[in-house]
Structure formats: C-alpha cells, structure tokens
Amino acid sequence: MRQQPLSLTIRLALCFALLAAGLLLVLGLVLGRLVSTHFDEIDSQELGAKMAMIDNLLGQAHTSAAFDALLMQLDAILTSHDTLALSIRDENDQVLYDFQAERLAPVKQGDVATPQPRWQHEGRIFIGREAQKVLPLPKPLYLNVLIGLDISHHAHFLSVIRRHLWTGIAMATLIAALLGWLAVHNGLSPLRRVTRTAGQLSADRLGERLSERDAPPEMLALVSAFNGMLDRLEADFKRLRDFSADIAHELRTPVSNLLTETQVALSRPRSAEAYREVLHSNLEEFERLARMIADMLFLAKADHGLLPNPAETVMLEQEAGALLEFYEALAEEKGVDLQLTGHAKVTGDRLMLRRALSNLVSNAVRHTPAGGTIEITITPTQNMAQLTVSNPGETIPADQLPRLFERFHRADNIRSHHGEGAGLGLAITRSIVKAHGGDITVISQDGFTYFTLALPLIGRP
C-alpha cells in the first residue's frame, strides 16, 4: 500500500526545525569549544603559576639544611592550596616530599608522556606538569617535581553548560518547528481558499472567483491563473450548453420534416409518383443531415489535430480567382460585383484552404445587397499573407462578433439558416486556418464586414 506523503505544512515545518537545529548545534559546538578552551587556558596558567611558585621556593635553598627546612615548611605553605598535589623525588626516585600524593597515583613520575597530562582519580579530574630541577648545593641535587591541579570544578561547570546548551537546542528546535508550522499554515491559507473554491465548483456555480486583492504576491500568479481557468471553464460550459441546444434544434428540424412527410405519405394510398416525390424530399433532408454530420466530424478531427496538412504550394490569387468564377453566376443574379487584387504563396492543403475561402465568399454573396461589391484583397506582410474578404451589408453587432466562429451560432441577419452546415461554416473556416498555423479575425463597422485570414508565407522562419 502506498504511503501517504507528508503535507507541505509539516515538511516545511520540519525543514525549519532541522535548519534551526543545525544552526544551533553548530553554535553550541563552537560555544562549548570556546568555553572549554578558555578554561583550559585558565587551568594551564594556574598550573604554571603553581609550578613557578614551587620552583621559586626550591631555588631559595642554597644549602642542604635550607633544603630540609624548606621541605618542612611546604606543608604549611600548601595547606591553603587544597586543589594542588605535589611530589618531589631525587634522581634515585626516592620520595623527598609529597602533598596529597595519592592524587598523583595514576601518573608515573619520571615517565610523563605529554607536557600536560590529564587524568581522573576518585571521580575528580586533574591536570599535571613535570619538571626537573637541579639545586647547586655543596653537592648537586637532581630533583623531579610532579605537580597536579584539581580542575573538577571547571569540568563540572562545562558539563552543566553543555547539558543546558543541548536542552536549550532541543527546546529551540521544537519551538522553531511549532512556529514554522504556524507560519506555513497561515501562509498557505490562500491555497486552502483555492481548494475550498475548487471544491464548491459545479456546473451551476462556475461564477465563483478568488479575490486577487487579498492574495499574497507569491500566490498572485496562481490566483490569477485559477480565476482565468474558471473564466475559460465558464465560457466553455456556456458554449457546451448552447451547442447542445443548437444541435438539438438543427437535428429536430430535418427529423421532424422526415417524420411529418412520411406520416402524411402513409396516411392513405398514393400513386407511385407521389411516393417518389416524398422520397426525393426525404433524400434532401438526409443529405442535409449527412452534411451536418460530416462537418461535425471535420471539426472533431480539427479539435484533436487529425486534419491532414500536405506541404504543397498554394497560390492564393489562383484559388480566390477560381472561387470567384464559381460564384460569378450567383453574384450576377443578385446584382453583386466581384473583385480580386494582390497575390501571395503559402504552404498547405489546397482543398481545405479553398473550402475555408469558399465559406467566406458564399457568406459575402448571401449578405451583400444588390449593387454592392465583394472585394478579395491579398496582402503579403513580413511573415504572413493576409487575405481579406469584404462586403457591404448590415453591420454585425459588436457583441456578436466574438461568437461568429462558434459552432451552430447564428444571429439575426448574420448567417443564413440554409448555409453550409447550418451554422458550422465559419467554425470550419477557423479550424482550417488554425490547422495551417494562421488566424482569422472579423471587423464589422459602417455598413461593411471584413473577414481577414492570416496564413504563414512560404519561407517564414
């Protein structure tokens, strides 16, 4: 079973705690080392001072009698130095004097391996120092002096310091983890609001938005992107609802016609000619349904990037000229003139581009009043070829322009109900242009409408 990952809040809190623990640990180690070094220096200085005192006292003995008298006086002198241990031996390792010498038992006098050894005795800690001294008596006297200093009080103080230091580090780490958790939990509150808003979304509640004014700078981009996603989602749901209603309407009309005509034909016996007329009428409705289904399949392929895109050279002026010849008879019948100017070469599928252009020209012929002129203008720019189809006619309302390329969308006096695909023509045109890496725009003002295709020129970088 897959283990549930830790929450982001806990992970960040642990990171804060580990970071704080690491910093405090380094600080504690450095501080402990500094204190220990400081006490070592103090102990070494004190030990050196004691050794200097003993050396000075021994240096005052110029005769054997004076030396013997000094040894007897050392007890009185060292009584106030309870942290000190002293052993004086001659060259034959005979003890001449000792003071609390049992403390020196762990150290072998005359064989001290380090300049300042450290040892323990009966639970106490000592440091020592050994020195050789020659007294110029009538007969030179070679002495070995071993001194020990009790530093247990400093060691105890260091132990207490370290114990409190580690306890403080542990408590500070826990506090850092708690404060980190609170800070992260509070900082992620906008993310929780995003989660709550996302959880409240439904098809009937797509109008919910997050306040960008209350979002922290770090999450402003996320909140803005989330609101943008909701805008697109709401628009897509609206288009889907409209699409469902439109396609139901488009399918209902031919199906109703088929049912009505068939029911009427079967209501009583008729002649073969009458049945033939009914079948011809039904065939027209079936052809209309077939075109609609083919157009919807074409758009579905375009949505999934399945449209073919042969890389053949297409002369836009030739394709536009051929279309104008095709629509010339219809245009003359309506009293409309057709004009073509400009030229450009693009790469793409000739038949699909002709279909896209045909949709625009057929719409223009359908909506141009008698005496008007339809103009096709081809203008190559730096990277794109622009083909504009313009025609006079009723101005399309500005609020309808963005929806002209939606499937099954129709506005009064904008699209004919009997056009290609019953509202799919411009949607197909846009899909074809997008498949060729281009774009299509529309402008309608002052009694003129301009549809502009922008397609990549041959050799575009």
CATH code (residue 360): 3.30.565.10
Over residues 443-452, mean pLDDT: 93
Given a cut of 50, whether residue 89 has pLDDT beyond it is yes
Question: Is 194 within a domain?
Answer: no
* Residue 412, pLDDT score: 47
- Which of the listed residues 263, 279, 303 is the one where a domain comes to its end? 303
Over residues 165-187, mean pLDDT: 87
More confident site: 321 or 246 = 321
- Which of the listed residues 249, 281, 303 is the one where a domain comes to its end? 303
Question: Is 24 within a domain?
Answer: yes
For the ranges 52-66, 240-254, 378-392, 431-445, the lowest mean pLDDT is seen at 240-254
Please identify which residue in the block is written with the tokens 């980190």: 180
**Which CATH number goes with the domain that contains 151?**
3.30.450
* Separation of alpha carbons 210 and 199, rounded Å: 13
Single out the residue of 183, 88, 69, 67 nearest to residue 143, CA to CA: 88
For the ranges 5-14, 44-53, 106-115, 383-392, the lowest mean pLDDT is seen at 106-115
* Separation of alpha carbons 230 and 202, rounded Å: 11
On whether both 230 and 129 belong to a single domain, the answer is no
Q: What confidence category does residue 294 fall into, taking pLDDT thresholds of 50, 70 and 90?
A: confident
On whether both 168 and 261 belong to a single domain, the answer is no
On whether both 331 and 246 belong to a single domain, the answer is no
Percent of the chain with pLDDT over 70: 92
On whether both 327 and 440 belong to a single domain, the answer is yes
For the ranges 328-332, 362-366, 419-423, the lowest mean pLDDT is seen at 419-423
Question: Is 369 within a domain?
Answer: yes
Over residues 12-34, mean pLDDT: 87
On whether both 289 and 380 belong to a single domain, the answer is no
Given a cut of 60, whether residue 295 has pLDDT beyond it is yes
What is the span of the domain harbouring residue 62? 8-174
On whether both 89 and 116 belong to a single domain, the answer is yes
Q: What confidence category does residue 35 fall into, taking pLDDT thresholds of 50, 70 and 90?
A: confident
Q: What is the mean pLDDT of the chain?
A: 83
More confident site: 360 or 129 = 360
On whether both 252 and 153 belong to a single domain, the answer is no
Q: What confidence category does residue 459 fall into, taking pLDDT thresholds of 50, 70 and 90?
A: low
Instruction: Tell me how many domains the chain contains.
Output: 3
Q: What confidence category does residue 418 fall into, taking pLDDT thresholds of 50, 70 and 90?
A: very low
Given a cut of 90, whether residue 341 has pLDDT beyond it is yes
Over residues 325-332, mean pLDDT: 92
On whether both 16 and 157 belong to a single domain, the answer is yes
On whether both 59 and 143 belong to a single domain, the answer is yes
**Which CATH number goes with the domain that contains 251?**
1.10.287
Question: Is 203 within a domain?
Answer: no
- Which of the listed residues 158, 174, 190 is the one where a domain comes to its end? 174
On whether both 155 and 14 belong to a single domain, the answer is yes
On whether both 436 and 343 belong to a single domain, the answer is yes
Question: Is 92 within a domain?
Answer: yes
Percent of the chain with pLDDT over 90: 18
On whether both 43 and 157 belong to a single domain, the answer is yes
